[in-house]
Structure 1
Amino acid sequence: MLLRLNVADDHPLHEQVAGAIRRAIAEGECAPGDRLPPARDLSQALGVNVNTVLRGLRALRDEGVLEFRRGRGVTVARAADERAALLDRVRDVVADAARLGYGKDDIIDMIRGIP
């Protein structure tokens, strides 16, 4: 799995880590059930602190994209590829809306108004 971060990006590094893993899943580099490399290996490959990687991994676990299993490491959750792709599209909508002056509550109201 080849991940890259953009240090010039304004987003925090842990969010970039999570986003890079999401993209890898959405693009089929990682399939449901696949085991991710250890956080220490990821941190060395990305050139960031291991705690930054762990924070990104925990965020993905909280989203249901990854599963943490004692003795088995971190694995991609079932249906994670679909969820990761959907979350990326939602983030794009939120970013587009913010650029147009809409907040998250406005987007929720719009969604509720869809029949």
Structure 2
Amino acid sequence: MLVRIDPASEEPIFVQIAASVRADAAAGRLRTGDRLPSARDVADALGVNLHTVLRAYQDLRDEGLVDMRRGRGAVVTDAAVPLAALHADIAALAARARALGLSPDTLASLLKEHR
């Protein structure tokens, strides 16, 4: 698993880390039972504070995407299955939005309206 962030982005790093994990789950690169790298390893690899990574992992835990247990670390839950099932639909929607000239922010706003 490769965690991707953009240091120049205005989006907080912990949000970017969580989004990267979600994207890997949606793409099927992470499956139920897979362990995430330790927060310390991710922090060292990205050159960020350990607590930044822990915040991202806690947000993913709060969403139900990962289960965090002492000694086992962060493990992907069954919540990854629906994300992976929607991957093709999401890719098609993003492609259609691009074809219509919609920005990613506009598409995200439209999706948020339909919660």
TM-score relative to the length of structure 1: 0.72
- The answer as to whether partners of 2:25 and 2:83 remain within 8 angstroms in 1 is no
User: Which amino acid letter does the alignment assign opposite residue 34 of structure 2?
Assistant: D
Report the Cα offset of residue 26 of structure 1. Answer: 1.2
What is the CA deviation profile of residues 40-80 of structure 1, one whole-angstrom value per residue up to 9, with x for unaligned ones?
00111122111000000000000110101222111001132
Matching of residue 54 in structure 1 with residue 64 in structure 2: no
The 1:12/1:81 distance shift into structure 2, 3 A limit, reads farther
What is the match of residue 40 of structure 2? 40
Instruction: Check conservation: 2:32, 2:80, Cα contact below 8 A.
Output: yes
> Where in structure 1 do 4 or more consecutive aligned residues deviate above 6 Å?
none
Higher mean C-alpha deviation, range 74-83 or range 28-37: 74-83
My pick for the range that moved more, 22-31 or 76-85, is: 76-85
Residue type at the aligned position of 1:16:
Q
Whether contact under 8 Å (1:66, 1:77) holds in the other structure is: yes
Distance 1:84 1:60, change over 3 A: farther
Structure 2: how far apart are the matches of 1:39 and 1:53?
6
Aligned residues: 101
Identity value in percent: 46
Measure, in 2, the Cα distance between the counterparts of 1:68 and 1:20. Answer: 18
Given candidates 74, 98, 106, the residue that maps to 1:96 is 106
Whole-Å separation in 2 of the counterparts to 1:24 and 1:63? 15
Specify every segment of 5 or more residues in structure 2 that has no aligned partner in the other structure, as ranges. Answer: 95-104
Unaligned runs of 5+ in 1: none
Q: Which residue of 2 aligns with 1:20?
A: 20
